[in-house]
Amino acid sequence: MHRAGLAESWRSFRIAAWLGWQVESNWTDPLLFAVYSLVRPLAGAAILVVMYSVSRRATLIRRSLPISISATPFTCTWAR
């Protein structure tokens, strides 16, 4: 890409980012919105990490139990 095209692309990106900021942050002050914009994806990632670790721990516990104990919750529903 030649220099004029790069400058035009940067200008378009800068204007689009500014416009997006104006549209999305019109409900609060800029500092609070910046904090919200950073914390929200980090909190989502942390939730996924916790879900994965709980799932992994449950799998390890289930594998360490004898088959009769680990299958008990499922067989109890069929008992009469």
pLDDT in tens, the chain (80 residues): 577 788 899 999 999 998 988 888 777 787 888 888 899 999 999 999 999 888 888 776 666 666 655 555 555 555 55
Q: What angle do CA 28, 33, 38 make, to 5 degrees?
A: 165
| Domain residue limits at 13 | 3-78
Structure tokens at 64: 């360490």
Q: State the total domains in the chain.
A: 1
| pTM score of the predicted model | 0.47
CA distances from 63 to 4, 50, 59, 69 (A): 62, 20, 6, 11
CA atoms of 65 and 16, how far apart (whole Å): 56
